[in-house]
Amino acid sequence: MVRQCFIIFGCLALGELIVWLTGTSIPGSIIGMLLLTAFLQMKVVKLEWIKGMTDFLISNLGFFFVPPGVALMLYLDVIQAELLPITVATVGSTIVVLIVTGWTHQIFKKK
Amino acid sequence: MEILHNDIVLLALTFGTYFAARQCQKKTGWVIMNPILLTIALLILFLKVAGISYETYHKAGSYIDFWLKPAIVALGVPLYQNLSQIRKQFLPIFLSQLVGCVAGVVSVVLIAQALGASREVILSLAPKSVTTPIAMEVCQSMGGIPSLTAAIVVLVGLFGAVFGFKILEVWHVRNPYSQGLSLGTASHAVGTSRAMEKGQHYGAYASLGLILNGVLTALLTPFILKLII
């Protein structure tokens, strides 16, 4: 448990450190994810050391979005005032991204 | 009703609502009964009725969203497990990400502009496809409203999680890897968690979409916006 937390928070902390040092706009959590992948690949970290914790975090990923979602209540008036452009643009654009990405990948992927 | 303002009570309520919402989805089997969506809606309703401010709720909620960052780090595991497969497919993956990123920013801005959205809202919508921290950062640097972006990002994620696979099926995107990738690209971590439910290899490609589109959006959005606004 302690080792699992140390590895995951260690990667996150290194990610934050890199953000602080370089001033990049890529968030520390994304850099931490890439670091964890690299450490696993280099066999510095063994998969079985962290599997329990990462399975727990990944299977509850959606739940962690509940509080940021509740922040919607602060913008109900802005959203109401521009309801049509906001909903049509987000829904329309999300559909465009889904299809365009999927098609491009399907066309170029090696058989 | 001071007791309702207590952090622990609000946390218990959040867990309880989510649990009930998940049972509800299991019982009915309806995709629209997404437990995240349902929990958010019920909590907002409850807070409004009970007269509790978002600031009060946020004190409790921050114990939960604190785990978002470590959870994103944890996505390194499926990424590692699929690395050799991904290496072989690097070019198609990179190309589809580039196209997806540009299409996402350009289409949301053009549609919002055509329908007369204000400049602030347009800037807040531009990075909508990517994970919250990146989206907020991009929005901030462009002069939008970061917390509006955060809220929109969650909505986009939910839309992708609920309807993503349906839309891809209808438009003949049938390859599991392409489906996973598209879901992560269009609807970040919420879409990724949905893909993860469907299978580990869907999830790994979704994490990849989440990362690559996140990075590309952070790098390209300022230039794209300069060209079209």
ipTM: 0.90
Contacts of residue A36, defined as CB under 8 A and 6 or more positions apart, other chains included, come to A7, A8, A11, A45, A50, B73, B74, B76, B77, B80
The reported pLDDT for the residue numbered A11 is 97
Residue A8 parent element (H or E): helix A2-22
Q: Name the DSSP letter for residue A53.
A: H
The reported pLDDT for the residue numbered A84 is 94
- Report the amino acid identity of residue B130: V
**What count of other Cβ atoms lies within 10 Å of the Cβ of residue A93?**
26
**What count of other Cβ atoms lies within 10 Å of the Cβ of residue B48?**
11
Tokens of B146: 């970061």
Contacts of residue B33, defined as CB under 8 A and 6 or more positions apart, other chains included, come to B21, B24, B25
The reported pLDDT for the residue numbered A1 is 83
Q: Would you call A72 and B44 a contact, using CB atoms and an 8 Å cutoff?
A: yes
Q: Would you call B74 and A102 a contact, using CB atoms and an 8 Å cutoff?
A: no
**Over its length of 111 residues, how does chain A's per-residue pLDDT go in tens digits?**
899 999 999 999 999 999 999 987 778 888 999 999 999 999 999 999 999 999 999 888 888 888 888 988 988 888 889 999 999 999 999 999 999 999 999 999 866
Q: Would you call B171 and A65 a contact, using CB atoms and an 8 Å cutoff?
A: no
Residue A18 burial class via C-beta count within 10 angstroms: exposed 0-12, middle 13-18, buried 19 and up: middle
Give dist(CA B65, CA A103) in Å, integer: 34
Coil, strand, or helix at residue B172? coil
- Report the amino acid identity of residue B82: N
Q: Which residue ranges of chain B lie beneath pLDDT 70?
A: none
Size of interface A-B (CB pairs under 8 A): 321
- Report the amino acid identity of residue A10: G
A-interface mutation test, from B25, B72, B162, most A Cβ less than 10 A away? B72
A-interface mutation test, from B45, B77, B107, most A Cβ less than 10 A away? B77
- Contacts with B, A 38-97, CB within 8 Å: 40-41, 47, 50-51, 53-54, 57-75, 78-79, 82, 84-86, 88-97
Beta strands per DSSP E along A4-111: none
Q: Is the dihedral of CA A33, A57, B211, B43 positive or negative?
A: negative
The reported pLDDT for the residue numbered A110 is 67
Minimal C-alpha gap between B27 and chain A (Å): 19
Whether A36 has its CB under 8 Å from any CB of chain B: the answer is yes
**Closest residue in A to B64 (Cα–Cα):** A64
Q: Would you call A41 and B175 a contact, using CB atoms and an 8 Å cutoff?
A: no
The reported pLDDT for the residue numbered B19 is 95
